[in-house]
Amino acid sequence: MAQHKINYTQDGGLPVALTTIDKVANWGRSNSLWAMTYGLACCGIEMMAAGASRYDFDRFGTIFRASPRQSDVMIVAGTLTKKHSEFIKRLYDQMTEPRWVISMGSCANTGGMFNTYATVQGVDRIIPVDLYLPGCAPRPETLQYGVMLLQKKIRANKAGRAQKSKRLM
């Protein structure tokens, strides 16, 4: 008779956990959201502040990558000019699935105060956007909150299913 009987069904038993593939995949995806370094204007400064030590994006597993091929989320931080619009499409197409887009600040949402000939009136005319952050510029707390919302959105999805694009030609 074993003196220390192991209760397999309780905590502290064998290191076995039962969960679903969806949950594991979503946990991995949502907690390692690598963002693309994409500061276009003054929102980029707030994005950098959110990544630096005071606000510290690394806590969320969000690490900025300098290549679209290594990143999961594109944070469009700033004014998108018409001259640059073809490059944002190209960079978005280079990102691997699954990919997400956060439109950060008024300029990326709607063109903002730049109601002129040279500014794209909302980045969702070019690429599908998952999350719109209001503000001019949004504070780092807003961006962190947005990333947490995006994590929530990712966890709510079925991981195995392909993402449905809102607008893609």
Which residues contribute to the site for another protein (CB under 8 A)? Answer: 17, 19, 23-24, 27, 82-83, 85-86, 89, 109-111, 115-118, 120-122, 125-126, 131-134, 142, 145-146, 148-149, 152, 155, 166-167, 169
Cis? peptide before 98, omega within 30° of 0: yes
Report the residue number, 69 or 82, with the smaller CB distance to another protein: 82
Report the residue number, 51 or 146, with the smaller CB distance to another protein: 146
**Shortest CA distance to 147 belongs to which of 50, 65, 71?**
50
Report the residue number, 71 or 110, with the smaller CB distance to another protein: 110
Q: How many CB atoms lie within 10 A of CB 151?
A: 20
**Shortest CA distance to 143 belongs to which of 92, 112, 105?**
105
Q: Are 155 and 27 in contact (CB under 8 A)?
A: yes
Minimum CB distance to another protein, residue 134 (Å): 6
Minimum CB distance to another protein, residue 117 (Å): 3
Minimum CB distance to another protein, residue 3 (Å): 29
Minimum CB distance to another protein, residue 99 (Å): 16
Give the helix/strand (H/E) hosting 105.
helix 105-110
Minimum CB distance to another protein, residue 88 (Å): 9
Report the residue number, 6 or 118, with the smaller CB distance to another protein: 118
Q: How many CB atoms lie within 10 A of CB 102?
A: 26
Report the residue number, 26 or 71, with the smaller CB distance to another protein: 26
22: left (phi over 0), alpha (psi -120 to 50) or beta: alpha
